[in-house]
Amino acid sequence: MSKKNEILDFLLKDKDYSEKYIREEYMLYRILNYGESFTIQDFADELYVSPTTVYRSLNIVEGWLSKYNLKLNRKKRVLVLG
């Protein structure tokens, strides 16, 4: 199973959607499932949050990805490396 599929498996398991990390899971799902990159402002507009909140959420996402030896590239656009 590829790293992407392992992560998507984790995201798609039955979850209690009152959990704390819904925004971060959504962002990770979007980054992995759509072969395009996103800007910080794209996420801020889509999620109705500030760019600062997006940065904080991406720090959490990056921690999750590090478990799979993957990194986020945040230069101009957000995408997964590795």
> DSSP letters along 15-82, please?
--TTSTTHHHHHHHHHHHHSSS-B-HHHHHHHHT--HHHHHHHHHHHHHHHHTTT-EEE-SSSBEEE-
Q: What amino acid occupies position 67? A: K
- Residue 60's pLDDT is what? 93
- Residue 17's pLDDT is what? 45
The structural domain count of the chain equals 1
Say which CATH number the domain at 22 has: 1.10.10
**pLDDT-flagged residues of the chain (< 50):** 17-18
pTM of the model: 0.74
- Residue 58's domain spans which residues? 3-81
- Residue 18's pLDDT is what? 46
